[in-house]
Structures are given as C-alpha cells and as structure tokens.
A and B are shown apart, each in its own frame.
Chain A
C-alpha cells in the first residue's frame, strides 16, 4: 500500500510543479502579444487601424495602428513605416519618436509604427534575443518589444518550399512571411501578403506622394547607412545625400534593383507611382558576428566582436569600441527624413510636407532617444 502511495504523492507534486511552470511560462508568452502604449502628441488628428483600409484584416494579428497628422496648409502626403522588420528597433523608435513629438503644418504625415504587427508577437528562435529592450527616459525606463523579421508562424503557417511573391519573384519559402518581399500584396493571399495589400490600399486612399520605409541592417551587410531609392526618386535621393553629407552623416545611395521584386522601394514606386525610399542604419543586434544578445546591445550598440571585425576590415561600416547606439541610428533616420523632405520641397513645392516639433538629430544623438519620449506610466 505504502509502495503505491509514495509515487502517487510525488506524481501529484510534479503535476503541481507542471501547473506552476505552465502559469509562469504562459504569462510570459502572453505578454509578447501586448503592444506598448504610444503617447501621441497634441498634433495627432486621426487614428485608424490598417483594417480601415482593408477590412479583411480586422481581428487578425496583421491589423495595426495608423497615426495621421494633418497640417493646416495644403501640401503633399508622407507615409513613414516603422516595424516592417520588428527586429530592427531604430525603425520602430523613429516612428514612435515622431508620433510623440510632431505637429502637422503643411500636408499630411501618416505613420505606421508597427507595420508587421504579427512579427512583434514572437522572437527569432535560437537567437537568445531579449523579449524587450529598455530605453531610458528622464522619468524612468520605457520598454519596447523586439520581435522577429518574419510574421509569427502561429498566424501564418506552413511556409511553402519556394515562394513566388505577388510581383512574380521566386524566393526561398520563409520569405512568404517577410513583409518587405510581399508587395504589392494579394487581397486573398497569405496574412503577410494581405498586410502588404492593406498598405498599398492606404497609399492609394490617402494619396501618398512619398513613402519612407525605416530599416536596419547588420554591419557585415553591404546595403548599410544607405538610402535605397526607386528610380523615380533618384534626384530626390541625390539632394538628400548632399544635405546629409554636409551635416556630417556618412551615407550612400543604392538604386533599387529593377529585377528584385516585392520590396517596398520597388513596388511602391512601380504599382502606386509614389516616391519610394528605404533607409538602412547599422544594427549589431541582428548581425551574425555579435556577442551575447541583450537590451544594452540594442540600445548602446557596444559589441567587442563587431569592433574586432571592423579592425579586421570585415564590415561595411566603421564599428569602434564605442559602438553604434540606438540614439545615433534614430538620429540618422531623422536626419535622412528631414533631408528628403527638404529635397521634395525644392523639387516639387506643391507636394511639400512640413511639421513642427521633430527633435533635431544632433539633439537625439546627444541626449538619447528617451529624452524625447513621453514618460512611462
């Protein structure tokens, strides 16, 4: 009798432990679906969901917030996309910084901070990435999600062996979950294709004139510290380059390859006829040569392995011991945005977009991103 009872008791104990483990891991898992609150500035005029432009996206993890700042004066329409790749934090942070600070003056500014919201609900497997990164503000730290480059497989699965995207490009199977390979999207396609389609609908219905897609890339990747432009925006990109170089930002121009289809800088220009630009800054946290992934690697950008790789000449950007912090990466995006809008006003004055309240890139670089964010609640 005692021989039977003892294992049953210990089994009940292990079952209890199972319950505790499930509770804590389940709670942690659920927090991945919680988006951080964004505190828009007083200049915000409209808030929409992406599903307002494409209703089948409603009640899916592909739906996301769209913030619009309308100016009093007539001008052009600017679209800023952050979070196309949720493992590239400078895109999200630049979009959040704009939402929390700007006031429209001329034309309209449309900002989508989490373009692939499904990608924010999971992390890249086997990378050991932190679930969130911490941005210090004067009133305490604010936490932001670090997601995956791809749509969550819980929302879109399985991947095909070979993916032929809506523009006809043949790609490896998992690219079916990469938003920046799915343009111009399909109304009845995979979730990621439907998100891309919804963004194209937003561009069409809001009569966007210029679209800027904010990205980051690993320091060993050749397209870095770059403005990637559609051929309809070559003059604009060249003007922005001159201004950025005059301000001390080392940046290069990359023409969007005509035969590389499905990307924002190609399909926005080809299918929607807008000026299409993609910006890249260097981010060690999603590179292959990095050390231990952590929140400070994302925010401070210090990594001794990248510093060594830079000394050995393996990188496409100089990477010193001081690292490339998030503040510098966001400042680069802001400076490029300012330069592009300056160029647009010069080339097509009737489509000029102006807004107030954007922190100066030099100030962001000096004081950090958190100095310009709403305090945490």
Chain B
C-alpha cells in the first residue's frame, strides 16, 4: 500500500514537471525541467 502511495506521489510530480516543461518559454528553463523529469521518471520506473 505504501508503495502505491509512493508511486502515485512520484507520478503526480512527474506530470507536474511535464506541465512545467511545456509552460516554460526559455530553452534553458526547459532543459532544467527536462533534467529533473529524467530523475523522476527513472525513480518511477526503476526504483521501488
């Protein structure tokens, strides 16, 4: 159960980052959001 909550939190934050990525206008801000999103996706799919 705890694991499902954990995944839901990471999933929510990943969507938030994705939304943030498409809202940014400066490429450097987008690159920053993309890098953080990478870490969240790796955590979501590879680490319990």
Contact = CB atoms under 8 A, between A and B. Distances in A.
Interface of A: 3, 7-8, 10-11, 14-15, 17-18, 21-22, 25-26, 29-30, 154
Nearest to A8: B22
Given A3-B25, A7-B24, A7-B30, 11 more contacts: A10-B30, A11-B21, A11-B22, A14-B33, A14-B34, A15-B21, A15-B34, A15-B37, A22-B38, A25-B38, A26-B46
B34 A154 contact: no
B30 A11 contact: yes
Contacts of B41: 18, 22
Interface of B: 18, 21-22, 24-25, 27, 30-31, 33-35, 37-38, 41-42, 45-48
Nearest to B37: A18
Contacts of B18: 15
12 contacts: A7-B24, A8-B22, A11-B22, A14-B34, A15-B18, A18-B34, A18-B35, A18-B41, A21-B35, A22-B45, A26-B45, A29-B46
A29 B42 contact: yes
A8 B18 CA distance: 12
Contact of B42 (A3, A10, A22, A154): A22
A14 B33 CA distance: 9
A10 B46 contact: no
A14 B42 contact: no
A363 to B, nearest CB: 43
B31 to A, nearest CB: 6
The 6 tightest CB contacts between A and B, nearest first, are A14-B34, A7-B25, A11-B22, A21-B38, A18-B34, A14-B30
Contact of B48 (A8, A10, A11, A154): A154
B42 to A, nearest CB: 6
B34 A17 contact: yes
Contacts of A8: 22
A30 B45 CA distance: 11
Contact of A14 (B21, B45, B46): B21
B11 to A, nearest CB: 15
B46 A30 contact: yes
Interface centre among A22, A25, A26 (most CB of B within 10 A): A22
A157 to B, nearest CB: 9
A14 B36 CA distance: 11
Contacts of B48: 154
A20 B1 CA distance: 31
